[in-house]
Amino acid sequence: MHRRSFVALAAVVPLAGCSSLLGGGVDETLEDDQRVEFTADDGAELTVSVEVQEIFQPSEVDVEREGIMLRIDHVENGIVDTWTIEGSETFEITVDSGGTHAVIVSGGVADVTIE
């Protein structure tokens, strides 16, 4: 009995935090230029929630960055949309073209959930 429990747990643990690999969306902390893929169907309405954890300031420029950049791409068709987010934000997007998509954070660290 204990061996079955261990085997089942060993099969599930490597997938923890990787819901995007299973086609279920995204629930990850993304760092600068990190990319996570997920799938979405044509016409799907997605809820995107972002909570900025840290904003990286550029060292070469005297301009202060106000937020992180969040970008959602369709892997085959290119950029879907981009946003600058300063704190916490939740918004809805409608997927025009189904398939594999990617979410990318630049300029900092943020918790990103896409359902």
Each residue's pLDDT tens digit, 12-38: 433 333 333 344 689 999 999 999 999
Q: In whole angstroms, give the CA distance from residue 84 to residue 86.
A: 7
d(CA 91, CA 111): 14
CATH topology of domain 2-114: Jelly Rolls (2.60.120)
User: Which stretch of DSSP H or E encloses residue 53?
Assistant: strand 45-55
Residue 24, pLDDT score: 62
pTM of the model: 0.76
List the chain domain ranges.
2-114
pLDDT lower than 50: segments of the chain: 1-23
